Structure 1
């Protein structure tokens, strides 16, 4: 599959063209020696392979539902994002299976032409909600899954943490989980507005309507927490007015299992009542 900024932009122009014109594939091929930045033949091949075009009952070129999705975007950058998503979902190139590890982790293994497409689509440095959702949806699609509620709840907790940290320390924190999910924490902030020592934050969120709130912890997250000088767990209980509960590694330690014999834990489920979380926060504020 061809990943080229010039060709994908040319295809956008082509899709606009056939949506407003009546022309057959042979007529298009013969009418243009080149179309924008590429040849008519390449445009026809790529658009057909990606299911962006079809023939109507008279044999004229027309856009499919997927093709219409591209030309209905508000600008060429958004259209490029749709094109990339379609192409990756359909073809699942080998490098796409790294996307779930985070965009910076995956990007280093992208071919140079693919890197250029992602940069042009403004997918690498933006924390815009639509960009974050684009990465989440694609990461799951490549692995044959749908965007689930738990992932959306987790992202909400991370967004609330970013907002909370901006106000707390008057500093722009780094959204680490978007760049890499191998780091063992979600947000990189600082200890305080007067102390720029790094603070690693692992974010958990629960939207349970009951009094029991369950959070999941990986062994990698705990390993990083144990060796980090400053590491906190931000536990969000999501409701009309989200509540934040902050635990340090010492408070979390009581809930961590001990490996025995040849066994070792990899993932952990921890459940708290709202009263337990409230009491933990009160104890923290006493010191």
Structure 2
């Protein structure tokens, strides 16, 4: 049975680790001498610490903090400690809701238990997606996928960050990072057409560390979404350059590389070489 995590239980676990750093105790001494720790029963705090592999037993039979427990104890601040706890929780408990991480954090926050969701909130993981927040959710998605294709995700995120910086410099308005919330929208970034035109512009981002020998993979879903959008662009990033180069590809330019269904067959994805757009690559805005 999966342990049910909550902010209160997490705080009790943190308090237990702090206590054991000051005074080693055996499990019976802990439970009999301290009925409550951090507002929770000492037995619940002990169960959490045992489940998340935070404890070792010394030669005297006393509880001592393991290497995993020390990472929580030594975390810089409450949010950092909660993030560490969430990582340990996922690694040791493999909760059912974890499978939703491959679809974006919104799915996780909607389907995980209320207590776990509140831990994500108090850990600062449900708010603005700074680099550390994005890295956390990417790590969680990697665990859910069995760490498959993580290197491709890292390349994609690098391109998305570059597009966000480019669009803010171009329009003066921070764009919305859609892909961090859900990967089912069919595009990655939502910007505006121009500084003096607030019409919404959707952008699908593709990045490559192979230069012009690299390729982009476009799914049928992504293309059909692009066709339905009033304004849509593709950003292709060549990461072999310093700084990276950008090709801004419009719908007409991309359409010539899109296959059509024939007979009983239907296409699902297409691979297009970056070289097909070589003339469009140039410096991005700082």
3-state SS in 2 of match to 1:233:
strand
3-state SS in 2 of match to 1:6:
helix
Question: Which of the residues 237, 243, 246 maps onto 2:245?
Answer: 243
1:226 alignment counterpart? 227
Q: Is the 8 A contact 2:15 2:37 kept in 1?
A: no
Residue 214 (str. 1) matches residue 236 (str. 2): no
Report Cα offsets for 1:223-280 as digits up to 9, x if no partner: 101111100000000132100000011111111111222322222221122xx43424
Cα distance in structure 1, aligned partners of 2:81 and 2:98: 19
Report Cα offsets for 1:136-156 as digits up to 9, x if no partner: 111111232267222111111
Cα distance in structure 1, aligned partners of 2:281 and 2:50: 58
Q: Is the 8 A contact 1:189 1:199 kept in 2?
A: yes
1:13 alignment counterpart? 15
3-state SS in 2 of match to 1:255:
coil
Unaligned runs of 5+ in 1: 283-287
Please give the residue correspondences for 1:29-178 in structure 2 after superposition, counting only pairs within 5 Å: 29-145=31-147, 148-178=150-180
Q: CA deviation at 1:15?
A: 0.9
Runs of at least 4 residues off by over 6 Å: none
Q: CA deviation at 1:211?
A: 3.7
2:27 alignment counterpart? 25
Q: CA deviation at 1:32?
A: 0.7
Cα distance in structure 2, aligned partners of 1:219 and 1:41: 53
Cα distance in structure 2, aligned partners of 1:168 and 1:272: 23
3-state SS in 2 of match to 1:257:
coil
1:277 alignment counterpart? 277
Q: CA deviation at 1:203?
A: 0.5
1:236 to 1:67, Cα distance in 2 relative to 1, 3 A: same
Cα distance in structure 2, aligned partners of 1:35 and 1:184: 47
3-state SS in 2 of match to 1:59:
coil
Q: Is the 8 A contact 1:88 1:142 kept in 2?
A: no
Q: Is the 8 A contact 1:54 1:63 kept in 2?
A: yes
Larger mean Cα displacement after TM superposition, 259-268 or 64-73: 259-268
Q: Is the 8 A contact 2:246 2:281 kept in 1?
A: no
1:169 to 1:270, Cα distance in 2 relative to 1, 3 A: same
Cα distance in structure 2, aligned partners of 1:226 and 1:87: 42
Alignment RMSD (CA, Å): 1.6
Cα distance in structure 1, aligned partners of 2:218 and 2:30: 57
TM-score relative to the length of structure 2: 0.93
TM-score relative to the length of structure 1: 0.92
Cα distance in structure 2, aligned partners of 1:280 and 1:54: 59
1:62 to 1:147, Cα distance in 2 relative to 1, 3 A: farther
3-state SS in 2 of match to 1:191:
strand
Aligned residue pairs: how many? 279
Q: CA deviation at 1:80?
A: 0.3
Cα distance in structure 1, aligned partners of 2:56 and 2:223: 52
